[in-house]
């Protein structure tokens, strides 16, 4: 008999992070990760690069752990996951080329690849335009069916839309707020973006070594991805909607947006 989801052996994320949890694979689709950074030592499971070739995108594995970050963004993102969830095993999927330029084609290929390869949590600290919504929707549905959680960032600058796939209801969508801790989350009862993570003045590993202070939904998203990894580590049988339910239950209500 399956235990009810309420019967987690912890009432808070802080408590949960202190427990022995099952390892959870978190894919970071970004600019790459500096796996040699001390803060990520032993935390990066594998590294991959999505290359745009004339025959279509190709996913290539790096033979040994390396500094795979072409812009510094991905290392900060992976650092947030690692800080939040001690049980997270990071799979670095670089979707930008060596000039730090990317295309929707490589992103979609990397996203599909991650879902098809059994990743439990996919972190997308990026937002695509609405023209890719249909393709992203298909991959998110596939992720849902395979019990993979897609955690996606709201645009920092939501002029036209909140960004895709964050706008899709099959995702855990994240906005940025200030909590001062990585073990809190807020639920937003209205709007398309359901959760607010810790993304203001957060200290993350810098790709060049040391740490740096950043602000934005890019950093709130991996924090929430880390919380999802904690929940999935405590109860590997949780379905995506159950993880969302627990995030809401264990979080607080987000402050209403200013009028």
Partner 1 sequence: MDDIAGRVLGHLGLALKSDESRVLRLLLDIALETLPAAEASLLVAAPGGRELVFAMTQGGAKANRKLIGQRVPLGSGITGLAAVSREVQAGVPTFTPSKKGAVKRAGKAPSAVIAAPMLVDDELVGVLTAVRFPPSGTFQTRELRVFGQFAAVAAVVVEQRRAIRGLEVLGGAKPLAAVTEREAAEQELATVVAELVAKSGGRTDRVVRALKAFGQAFE
Which of the residues 24 through 43 are near partner 1 (CB under 8 A)?
31
Which of the residues 193 through 222 are near partner 1 (CB under 8 A)?
199-201, 206, 208, 210, 212-216, 218
CA distance 229 to 5: 15
Residue 138: CB minimum distance to partner 1, A = 22
53's enclosing H/E stretch is strand 44-53
Which of the residues 41 through 100 are near partner 1 (CB under 8 A)?
70-73, 96, 99-100
Cβ-based neighbours of 13, under 8 Å, separated by 6 or more = 183, 184, 185, 227, 230, 250
By CB under 8 A, residue 257 contacts partner 1: yes
By CB under 8 A, residue 107 contacts partner 1: no
Q: Collapsing DSSP states into helix, strand and coil, what is residue 42?
A: coil
By CB under 8 A, residue 5 contacts partner 1: no
Contact 195, 176 (CB under 8 A): no
Residue 193: CB minimum distance to partner 1, A = 12
Q: Given the DSSP bridges, would you call strands 44-53 and 56-61 parallel, antiparallel or unpaired?
A: antiparallel
CA distance 131 to 115: 21
Among positions 19, 147, 156, 245, the unique one binding partner 1 when judged by CB under 8 A: 156
Residues in contact with partner 1 by CB under 8 A are: 31, 70-73, 96, 99-101, 126-127, 155-159, 175-178, 199-201, 206, 208, 210, 212-216, 218, 257-259
């Amino acid at each position: 008999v399956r235990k009810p989801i309420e019967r987690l052996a912890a009432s808070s994320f802080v408590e949960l992070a202190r427990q022995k949890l099952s390892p959870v694979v978190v894919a970071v689709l970004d600019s790459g990760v500096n796996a040699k950074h001390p803060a990520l030592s032993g935390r990066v499971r594998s590294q991959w690069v999505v290359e745009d070739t004339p025959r279509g995108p190709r996913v290539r594995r790096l033979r040994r752990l390396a500094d795979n970050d072409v812009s510094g963004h991905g290392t900060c993102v992976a650092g947030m996951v690692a800080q939040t969830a001690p049980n997270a095993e990071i799979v670095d999927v670089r979707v930008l080329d060596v000039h730090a330029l990317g295309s929707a084609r490589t992103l979609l290929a990397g996203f599909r690849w991650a879902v098809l390869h059994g990743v439990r949590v996919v972190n997308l600290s990026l937002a695509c335009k609405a023209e890719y919504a249909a393709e992203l929707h298909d991959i998110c549905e596939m992720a849902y069916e395979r019990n993979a959680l897609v955690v996606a960032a709201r645009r920092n600058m939501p002029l036209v839309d909140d960004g895709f796939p964050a706008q899709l209801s099959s995702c855990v969508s994240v906005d940025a707020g200030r909590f001062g801790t990585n073990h809190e989350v807020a639920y937003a009862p209205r709007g398309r973006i359901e959760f607010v993570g810790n993304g203001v003045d957060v200290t993350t590993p810098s790709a060049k070594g040391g740490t740096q202070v950043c602000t934005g939904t890019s950093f709130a998203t991996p924090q929430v991805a880390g919380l999802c990894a904690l929940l999935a580590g405590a109860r590997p049988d949780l379905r995506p909607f159950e993880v969302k339910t627990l995030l809401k239950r264990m979080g607080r209500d987000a402050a209403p947006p200013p009028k």
